Structure 1
Amino acid sequence: MRRWLVGLLVIGVLGGLIALAAISTLLGGVGSGDFMFGAPCGSVLATTDPREAPRVAVRVSDLDAEQRAIVEQIIAIGKQRRLPPRAWQIAIQAGMTESRLHNLPYGDRDSLGIFQMRPSQGWGSVAQVTDPVYEINKFYDKLLMVPGWENQRPGDSAQAIERSAFPARYHQWEPLAVNVIGTVGGDVTEYVKASCTTPLPAPSEVAGRAIQYALGEVGKPYVWGATGPNAYDCSGLMLRSYQSAGVTLPRVAAQQYWAGTQLPVRQAQPGDLLFWGYDTSNPDTIHHVAMYLGNGRMVEAANQTVPLRQRAVNFDEHELMPLAVRPGVPVAKA
């Protein structure tokens, strides 16, 4: 009897080690705590802490004609100057913070224009600091003088130029800036340096547990509005998977999009959430969420016609949102 019990114990331990090895392989080493992966220098960087979300969420589709025109000028001038998308992002976040991307004829003391430049502080004449082409070029001139601007959080670079009494307020516009660039920026690859990398937030240590839970539910039925344990809808599966790992998510997919660190979808890591929307420039239209597993695979509760499943995913899929979300991960500090 004793030998039999020892044999069962050995088998159990080996089984556990095999399971852990499988998850470790799936994660590709994720979960060490100090694991980092890189984004090309100058690429857009969305590492927004949910606590910094704007009080009133602004989507690309909410921009008025003047805001849209100013964004297009920021990007066009950035391209003319061969500046990378990170520079455009910094300008968009600064403009959104200072003037809501309007060319204002007024401001605090003598502050004017998109970036609230002050003639009395040497930014230019009144006519110049209310001329969008001059303003944008002047902002870029100042940006190029900020040490390390390509490698730090965009809002920190905006603060270095604007010198606001409220330095953290620039960060809240990261998702909007990234979505704007994704919508109107066109192909940005030629403007991004591929020879260096900057750190992005490490995948969460809880990702492995969330993945393990989700994979354990594969085969169960899809039921709209269900959150387990016998059936799930798409967001219900994500909710319970991360709940099993100690992370609380909102109930519906559109809210889950704002419930963690955002990053470019092509840099998604195992455990990150992928989203689909009818309008990829407007997160309000999100209708589906799934969990990325790595190596072009994901797990999802798709619809009533199929049970919970794994399937292949392509980052060029129709309606796939430009940002993935990493639940439970704080913002990486520059």
Structure 2
Amino acid sequence: MLKIVLAATAVVAVITIAVVNGVSTVVNQTTAQDDLSIRAVSCNASIGPWEGGGADQGKNAAANLTEEQRGTVAKIISIGQERKLPPLAWQVAIQAGMTESGLRSLNYGDRDSLGIFQMRPSQGWGLASEVTDPVYAINKFYDVLLLVDGWDRMRPGDAAQAVERSGFPDRYHQWEGMAAFLIGDLGKVADPAGCGAAAGGNVLLASNAAEVTIKFMKEQLGEPYLWGGNGPDAWDCSGILVKAFAEAGITIPRVANDQYMSGGAHLPVKEAKAGDLIFWATNPADPVSVHHVAMYLGDNQYIHAPQTGDVVKISTINWDYPELMPLAVRPGV
């Protein structure tokens, strides 16, 4: 149920997305004047599912949709394409619609909530005849989503909550895998769950950020670990990465679990490239429990500030370690 209305204004997208052969290519505008430093991301790393095993669950959930529900998804995708919005926006709308109405344009709801997204006419979302019109409702949802600061860096369910303002903020996550599957199935987006085999392994950073950040990290080798350390002579695991990416003009959150949840685009950890962030958690199914972060260097090596009594060093990754998070993060994408 939508409770809070954001003022309708003209919206200017802050990222550029070009869709070529169904694959979204992200262009880092800060390096647009230097053609040599711009590289394509031939995958959709910011699209979920964000948890291991979500792909099969999503496919099974999508198989249970009715013709009406799939028709609503098709409208969400087609309008998103017409508006040149990235597939991540489609995913947010699909998850919100499935949660609020089961992807149906309802003529009833809590209090005066109506339509796919349960918009309330009394709260300024439009007339009853408008919010029950799927085309109007989908466009209105996108209008408000684009006004949410940083929506394109949020987990899709969190972005849906930022629009819907539900009293149950975590419920949008349950449809993450299904929405990602539908983007690939109905939206014809290659490899919607991340940067896997369908991307042909051709995954590169959007700028020279990896080179800059790795250089900084290696310059700190041997510096002592200090809990809460922000340098210049002592570091903790997340503080050193904040500084490393700042050297490349990229801002990431200070704390490790925030770096996981909103530090950049996500991709399967085993598809990580040099400069990506990898994480460990006491419960890999719960991002809040992330307790350590490092920078992947390639060739099964990573650099990090490990723990009290240790120093910044390069270690070898154990891909089967039970606390390794299933996804890596690519800041700046």
CA contact (8 A) 2:58 2:177 kept: no
- Which residue number in structure 1 is paired with residue 232 of structure 2? 229
CA contact (8 A) 2:154 2:262 kept: no
The more displaced of 203-212 and 278-287 is: 278-287
- List per-residue Cα deviations over 1:232-271 (Å, max 9, x = no partner): 1101211222233333333221232355431213332211
Amino acid aligned to 1:247: I
The alignment's TM-score, normalised by the length of structure 2, stands at 0.52
1: CA distance, partners of 2:45 / 2:308 = 36
2: CA distance, partners of 1:45 / 1:273 = 13
Please list, as runs of the form range in 1=range in 2, the aligned pairs for 1:134-153 lying within 5 A after superposition: none
The alignment's TM-score, normalised by the length of structure 1, stands at 0.52
- Which residue number in structure 2 is paired with residue 55 of structure 1? none
- Which residue number in structure 1 is paired with residue 145 of structure 2? 169
2: CA distance, partners of 1:164 / 1:223 = 48
Q: Among 285, 296, 301, which residue is 2:300 paired with?
A: 296
Say whether 1:323 aligns with 2:322: no
Please list, as runs of the form range in 1=range in 2, the aligned pairs for 1:200-215 lying within 5 A after superposition: 202-215=205-218
CA contact (8 A) 1:275 1:288 kept: yes
- Which residue number in structure 1 is paired with residue 247 of structure 2? 244
| Percent of pairs with identical residues | 25
- List per-residue Cα deviations over 1:37-78 (Å, max 9, x = no partner): 534xxxx74169xxxxxxxxxx99xxxxxxxxxx99864242
Q: How many residues are matched?
A: 237
RMSD (Å), alpha carbons: 5.2
2: CA distance, partners of 1:183 / 1:113 = 17
2: CA distance, partners of 1:271 / 1:286 = 19
| Structure ID, larger Rg | 1
Amino acid aligned to 1:238: L
What is the DSSP-based 3-state SS (H/G/I as helix, E as strand, rest coil) of the residue aligned with 1:279?
Answer: coil
Amino acid aligned to 1:46: S
- List per-residue Cα deviations over 1:213-238 (Å, max 9, x = no partner): 11121222212111222221101211
1: CA distance, partners of 2:203 / 2:312 = 31
Decide whether aligned partners of structure 1 residues 317 and 102 sit closer, same or farther in structure 2, where only a CA change above 3 A counts.
farther
Decide whether aligned partners of structure 1 residues 300 and 36 sit closer, same or farther in structure 2, where only a CA change above 3 A counts.
same
CA contact (8 A) 2:277 2:330 kept: yes
Amino acid aligned to 1:226: G
Decide whether aligned partners of structure 1 residues 168 and 310 sit closer, same or farther in structure 2, where only a CA change above 3 A counts.
farther
Q: Among 200, 218, 221, which residue is 2:221 paired with?
A: 218
For structure 1, the 5+ residue unaligned runs are: 1-30, 49-58, 61-70, 125-138, 140-158
For structure 2, the 5+ residue unaligned runs are: 1-34, 71-76, 78-86, 120-128, 159-171, 192-196
Please list, as runs of the form range in 1=range in 2, the aligned pairs for 1:39-188 lying within 5 A after superposition: 39=43, 45-46=45-46, 75-79=59-63, 93-98=92-97, 100-101=99-100, 103=102, 105-106=108-109, 111-112=114-115, 162-164=138-140, 166-167=142-143, 169=145, 172=152, 175-176=155-156
Decide whether aligned partners of structure 1 residues 177 and 32 sit closer, same or farther in structure 2, where only a CA change above 3 A counts.
farther
